[in-house]
Structure 1
Amino acid sequence: MIREHRNREKLINYYKIFINKGITDPNVHPWIKESWELSKQYQVNPKKILATARLSAYELAQLQSKHSDAIEYLDNFIDSIVDFLHEYNLCLTIMDSECTVLKKYANPTSRLIDRLEGVSLTTKNVGTLSCNIVKEHKVPFWVFGPEIWLEELHEMNSGSVPIMVNGELTYIVSLTVMEYEKIPQDVVLALLFTLKTALELNIRQSLNIKAQKAILDAAPFAVYHIMSEDKIVYANRMGEERLSAINAINENKETAHLKDIVLNYTHTPIYDGFQGISCYNRETTWITNNKTYEDITTVVPLKNSEDDEDVQSVVTVSMPIEDLRTLVAHASGYTAKYSLSSMVGESKAFVQMKERAYRVARNKNHILLQGEAGIGKQRLAHGIHMASMRMAGPLISINCADSTPELLEQDIFGAATDSDVSHPGKLELASKGTLFIDEIEKLPSSIAKMLAKALSEKKTHRIGESLERSIDVRIIAASDANLRRLTEKGQFDEKLFNIISRSIIRVPSLRSRRDDIPMLAINIIEELSKQHQMEPKVLLPESLEVLRTYDWPGNIKQLQSVLEYSFFNTSGHEIYPTDINLMGSVKPDNKWKTDKEIFLKAWKAAGGNVSRLSNLLSVSRVTLYRYIKKYGLEK
């Protein structure tokens, strides 16, 4: 609030009456009145400045560093008007939002020169000033000398403006007029409002630039601004890292000319960009003395105007193809779902296996998981990936029993569909992460040899291409069979076995850790409840005992299937032994007498035990032997 000139004698009289009698004249501005009353309440001495609330030199330096952008801008601004400030004996101060003086600009002969920086000019500390009224009301305000609480400042006038950024009070700028007769109030106000506008605009621009820089530095691609003489004038964080890797940037962040560091410069999109040719998402190879990069590159030429034919500079956005594949892998859901801590069990065999998994996860070896089908090797692979230094990378899975050799080869190594288009395989997509190969014993010999070569050389090429690409991948292989024995018999590639078996983890069967079954069962029921957002169900002690005494030939996978059936087919909240069907989805009333597949499912659920199967199907052993013979099976 800017106020017109007031009669100083009247103002002095209003001040004296308040100081001596505590009475406020009706002509006193309400904000001045409010501030005077607070000053009196805080018992601020009106006779002398007591700058007790002053920062130490170290604290002031820290605060100035925090607000260095605003101070630096004001320093440059003041340079152009310093003579004006000295001529009219003006003191300019910039304060933070709490009225602590960050810096002052005044005539060196001013008696305030040694008193201000680091001092808190709140009402509680110094009484009424224009700055603490602005702090309270967040609008420009002018205070005439006799309204200032400290009597030694009554021969001055003071105006302050709030510096508002995004609706928040950020700084306060004050101009104190030491000799008010020398300069009109309007001139001082004009200077204050000019400072306010300029400083607010600069801070907003500075914040925008910092935000843009933070965004660009966080982006997973390199960004460059390149001038017409092939000089890079800006690079984001990734851009600087890549330039440093090829020794193209010095300590002062000055870069060499591109044509001196990129050997194939005239064949790149940047060279085309300076000819006025834009390109978007083009696959580009950058050849330097230190390294060759393969990127997806976009180049946009910049001109002064649409009519200008000359390209002044180009903006280049370039993403390493390797990083792009990782992003695609994550977007496709190639991430670990389970941690090692999610694997439940307290038996000695299980605890030892889990401890070994933690140790092995931290080294760099490829890993072989050995054990029966259904024991949770895939979940263990997820946990190892999560516990490894590759946890930020993708986890990609492939099952060697799921497709034909031709499709499996393309799935692993990728393939070229024509001369211009090719697709990466899972070996490439898993780069910087983990490739889980399940049932690796079923991997065809020819593919096994290719995989061993790729892992040894850390390079691969897509089917139908000769271009080699670097890979950085860890293999976690799983085998239901004894892979060493298969290798010794010549049924598995020896070189690949030696590569993946540097760290072997043997996963115990469920029947060998029978005491873990109740804990596992409860955990599975809890997971089903959370996954399907259903009310939790309770396995009764006698139901847990039924589960514990069963042999589980299908291991955890079979236990999961049986419990899923019980969970979804039990109407109440408690699961009784009668609710547990060890045959899973195979019911006793199924047509097993005429359907071989149903009979096989039931026999598998019984673990190949004829006595157990006879109990499950409620038939005699003699009857079962007849059907075993009928279906051409052997016990």
Structure 2
Amino acid sequence: MLSTQEEVLEAWKAFIARGVILTNKVRPEIARSWERCKANGLDPWSLDFPIYSESLLKEKRAKYGQLLTLAGPIMNFLLTLLDCNISICNLEGFVFELITPLKHYPRSLGTYANEFTSGNGAVTIVLNEKIPCRTDGFEHYRMVSQTYSDVSAPIHSNNTMIGVLNAVNPFGCLPNQALPMIIAADQILEDLLNNNGGTFKPFIDSKAFQDMIDCSSQFVIVLNQEGIVLAENLASEQLWEPSRLKNKSLANSLIHKGDLSLLLDKDTQNANHRDFLIKELTSGKKQSYLRCVLLRKNRILLPNGDVYTVLVFDPFSLKDEAGNPSNISQKPAKYCTPAISRDVDYIGESPAWTKVDRMIHKTAQFPSNVLLQGETGTGKEVVAKAIHRLSQRKGSFVAINCGALPKELLQSELFGYEEGAFTGARTRGSIGKFEHAHEGTLLLDEIGEMPLDMQVALLRFLQERTITRINSTKSKKVDVRIIAATNKNMAELVKSGQFRQDLYYRLNVIEIELPPLRERRSDIPLLANYFISELSKQLKMQPKEISNDALKILCQYDWPGNIRELKNVIEKAMILSDDQKISPEILSEYILHWSPDSTPSKDVNSSENLSERDHIIQTLEKNNGNIFQTAKALNIARNTLYRKIEKLNIKIKTSAFKDSK
């Protein structure tokens, strides 16, 4: 039985409130784990975690020394493939080994995982039920664990269960194939434990190992110390003929020969997120290649002294001839000219952006509606795409600007129409954005601009999850995750009657506020260098270096147009600079002369004592309501002027005027 997270949440609430099991909404093994937790007197709202015991950890490590030696390489493979916490525990649930991609994760190592103190999860279900298991989100009994996704499998030695192998993502959803992957990893470990010779036997050629890496939808290649390809997974083989790389040096397939030393370097972080060009076979004389981005690499030491380097490449870096991400279920297109590298989700390391990043990862795994709020240019659509990608929903990401279309067209765009619905309609009708985004994500951009009658239709969809095309009487069930985005103050729109309160609460299940660039200035150098790298590919230019003085000026500017404005400034600077360095004098004049104390320019007829509102109105009147000319006269960006007009309640028709009161 497959249930949605919404159904599981309904079942969890029913059990916590009334002790009732909704058998049609929750799996039997999950229901049994809830009942055990309740019988043990565990508080579902508790925030405590088991206490770490260093003495017990030393004792268990010594007792299970051989198991740790054999399990170490396999756990490191899982860490690289899944990028999450990998742990191992004994039959009492004591976790005596944990490896993690996180800088600090103290919760489970050296503690007991049980349904008396820590609640349920895949590991506790395996310990009780003796079968492999996966748990996600609201299947966890304790609320504090409901951001988790975890898979576990029992470890047997000579047909006797001795422990459990676990993979846990505390902040997001594990991929669909995580459970078969850990089962395959568990089989490798059991084969090693049951090896009668007692000596370590390399497992890389085993069927279980191939099954484990084949479970990954990303492209996986394993190298020895000389750069010879020892293994590649099915996703990798979709790029070229099966086993084209195996038993050959990867250097032969790299456009840049020096890349191999970078990939084999002991520093596991130095090559991450870099592009690597891999040669493709072609029938003609032209050399074609695929551009891949390295997500992760790991050097894995085996008990016999061998060293493997496992490489995980991002499938979204592959482009078709139009520059769009390829579908990894099909063989990616070949091309002979450089392609623009993949669109990254977002870039930032500042505290303000780290908070957003944490929200994105926690939010992605659940189907709840999300409201993104932030100034123009802060990256709302980029964040929406990131949430969709991390959610691993099977359908497409679809976006529509609610403020760009009249209400008649907006209705047909959202719900679709049948033949003859209106003059100019297609003869066979057309599906709407809701249908197009089935099993995917729909971004409703500029949601604050949506007409009131369309708000009613959207509210009805959110309640019923069905659509009816224009000129049709048939309704259709649609599974769509809704993300809404706006640069307006939604609470104020509700207060003024421009937006329905009930719809606002429906959309605002999870709210993510994107900080303006001026509140994350430490990210400006990262973004500037990223745009230089990307624009050099788009413009077919040599990458340019930006001087420290120019970066300092960029970091001081207030960026009313946010990231979008920064990208435009970088593009202009790259085009206008004559050498390979972007220096301050190349930057736009308004950035060079900007300072926090800058004041709008005034002509001789304006009064020094005018309020900001009156001054803007006067300048608008002088320019006949022309926003561009007014912004130029005030020495501010157009987006800033629009925000001030809205904030100061200035009305514009053919010209600006003061409200009569």
Scaled by the length of structure 1, the TM-score of the pair is 0.40
Identify the structure with the greater helix proportion: 1
Which one has a bigger Cα radius of gyration?
1
Scaled by the length of structure 2, the TM-score of the pair is 0.39
